[in-house]
Chain A
Amino acid sequence: MKGQGRSKATGPVQEETKMYAFDFERPDTIDDALKALGAEDAQPLSGGQTLIPTLKSRLAMPSKLVSLTAIPELKGICTSDDGALCVGAATTHAEVAAGAGAYPALAALAGNIGDPAVRNRGTIGGSLANNDPSACYPAAALASGATIVTNSRQIAADDFFDGMFTTVLDEGEIIVEVRFPVPQKASYQKFEQPASRFALVGVFVAKYPDGVRVAVTGAAEDGVFRWTQAETALSSDFSAGAVSGLDVPDNAMIGDLHGSPEYRAHLVKVMTGRAVKAAG
């Protein structure tokens, strides 16, 4: 069977023609990746679970893709001296689900992203850099007060996200690692949009000795946000009841065929309550 069709496939075959052509590099060190990314319109590729469909719809036209998946320095999970859980940018969702036992709510979030095949390729770095307004990891990073470590600086999650599909990353700057301070209690509750399996609304609640942080994804037009009223209420009384008396957040909410803005605002409250209950 080998070689059939391929012998006549001198030009691009059917699928390939959907994408613009680009060069491809697969370096094995961060330094080489940064050098390769120095080319004009070069773009990093991690798991490809967002970027490849984007390329197929011709919504991106990079001159060169620089794969980050063969760089050992970008992979793996460890605990730092100050007890934070450090996850390499090119660590897959499946690896976090299996290996982030020190932070069970984070492992559970990763294990519930998309489907098994997506989890075997998709990575935390790609998810955070993409900042899809319905993605799960941005909520974890923001609720944990995580630090996003790039090749050139450390960025607090509070400063990292900059509106939907936008972050403060510069051209050619890559995420190297994400550091999560491990909370005393935490839970992520995702109300799934059944077709895409992204979050219609997802709420991550994390309780630290100095207070509670609540991050909401899927709901707001500006992407992931902290619901500060709920944080204040939960910091003095960590119970689902503390949330039920609050007004819904006043952020501009997404309205689409899956849910109106009012519905999403309501869900934020419901999912926050569930997250508090699940965190115990």
Chain B
Amino acid sequence: MSDITINVNGKPVSGPVEGRTLLVDFLRGAGLTGTHVGCDTSQCGACVVHVDGKAVKACSIFAVEAEGAEVATIEGQANPDGSLNVIQQAFQDHHGLQCGFCTPGMVMSAAALLKENPRPSEHEIREYLEGNICRCTGYHNIVKAIMAASGQDVSAIAAE
């Protein structure tokens, strides 16, 4: 066991880790349980966070590898006044979630996408979300929410 410090959502978080401690367990152990674990195979994307600005599966990186990095999680996404940010609000407005298990990963992936590509096409959104699995929504409303969050008109897209 050794103690490490990772900047999470702009604040230093310290804790003891072993070599095998995954970043997701470090975060959840620190009470940041918004980052979910949905699989053992690095496939579901429920655990997506940003490490130095890049979308990464927190279940597939050891905590020690993120030492000194800037990590962003779903807990840091809301606006400073506590209201939902534009992506989160769009998920609510367009019913982009049902059970909500995949949602933290979806929102973090969407945020990474919109940073790279501020007005993605529907196809680009679907491609980008390849590593985020949702068992409830059928994806249509997630895609719609992300289009809306990027300021695009979604009124012509049928409600699902």
What residues of chain A have their CB less than 8 Å away from a CB belonging to chain B?
1-6, 9, 12-16, 18-24, 26, 45, 48-49, 52-53, 55-57, 65, 67, 69, 94, 114-118, 120-121, 196-197
In the bound complex, residues from chain A placing their C-beta under 8 Å from that of B13 are: 2
Q: Is the CB of B62 within 8 A of A3?
A: no
In the bound complex, residues from chain B placing their C-beta under 8 Å from that of A94 are: 54
Asked whether any CB of chain A lies closer than 8 Å to the CB of B149, the reply is: no
Within the complex, the shortest CB–CB distance from B133 to chain A, in Å, comes to 10
Q: Is the CB of B54 within 8 A of A48?
A: no
Within the complex, the shortest CB–CB distance from B143 to chain A, in Å, comes to 15
Q: Is the CB of B55 within 8 A of A117?
A: yes
In the bound complex, residues from chain A placing their C-beta under 8 Å from that of B113 are: 116
A120 touches which one: B16, B19, B54, B75 (CB < 8 A)? B54
Interface residues of B in 104-158 (CB under 8 A from A): 109, 112-113, 128-132
- Report the number of A-B residue pairs with Cβ-Cβ less than 8 Å: 120
What residues of chain B have their CB less than 8 Å away from a CB belonging to chain A?
11, 13, 15-16, 18-22, 24-25, 28-32, 37, 40-43, 45, 48, 54-57, 59-62, 64-65, 75, 109, 112-113, 128-132
Residue of A nearest to B55 (CB): A117
| Listed A/B pairs (27) with beta-carbon separation below 8 Å | A1-B75, A2-B31, A5-B28, A5-B30, A6-B16, A12-B21, A13-B21, A13-B29, A14-B25, A15-B25, A16-B18, A22-B20, A24-B20, A24-B64, A48-B60, A48-B65, A52-B60, A53-B40, A53-B42, A115-B131, A116-B109, A116-B113, A117-B60, A118-B57, A118-B60, A120-B54, A120-B56
Within the complex, the shortest CB–CB distance from A46 to chain B, in Å, comes to 11
Q: Is the CB of B40 within 8 A of A197?
A: no
Give Cα A169 to B109, complex, Å: 36
In the bound complex, residues from chain B placing their C-beta under 8 Å from that of A197 are: 130
Q: Is the CB of B20 within 8 A of A67?
A: no
Residue of B nearest to A52 (CB): B60
Q: Is the CB of A26 within 8 A of B65?
A: yes
Within the complex, the shortest CB–CB distance from A214 to chain B, in Å, comes to 27
Q: Is the CB of A15 within 8 A of B56?
A: no
Q: Is the CB of A116 within 8 A of B112?
A: yes
Q: Is the CB of A16 within 8 A of B22?
A: yes
State the majority secondary structure of interface residues on B.
Answer: mixed
In the bound complex, residues from chain A placing their C-beta under 8 Å from that of B132 are: 115
Residue of A nearest to B59 (CB): A15
Residue of A nearest to B53 (CB): A120
Given contacts A16-B22, A118-B57, A121-B57, contact A69 B65 (CB under 8 A): yes
Q: Is the CB of A6 within 8 A of B30?
A: yes
Given contacts A4-B30, A116-B55, A116-B112, contact A53 B60 (CB under 8 A): yes
A16 touches which one: B21, B61, B112, B128 (CB < 8 A)? B21
Residue of B nearest to A67 (CB): B65
Q: A1-B30, A19-B20 are known contacts; what are 16 more A-B pairs with Cβ within 8 Å?
A: A2-B31, A12-B21, A15-B59, A16-B20, A21-B20, A24-B19, A53-B40, A94-B54, A114-B131, A115-B129, A116-B112, A116-B113, A117-B60, A118-B57, A121-B57, A121-B61
Within the complex, the shortest CB–CB distance from A131 to chain B, in Å, comes to 18
Given contacts A19-B20, A48-B62, A118-B57, contact A57 B40 (CB under 8 A): yes
Given contacts A14-B25, A55-B20, contact A117 B32 (CB under 8 A): no
Give Cα A56 to B40, complex, Å: 7
Residue of B nearest to A17 (CB): B20
Give Cα A116 to B126, complex, Å: 12
Residue of B nearest to A24 (CB): B19
Residue of B nearest to A51 (CB): B60
In the bound complex, residues from chain B placing their C-beta under 8 Å from that of A69 are: 65
In the bound complex, residues from chain A placing their C-beta under 8 Å from that of B40 are: 18, 53, 56-57
In the bound complex, residues from chain A placing their C-beta under 8 Å from that of B28 are: 5, 13
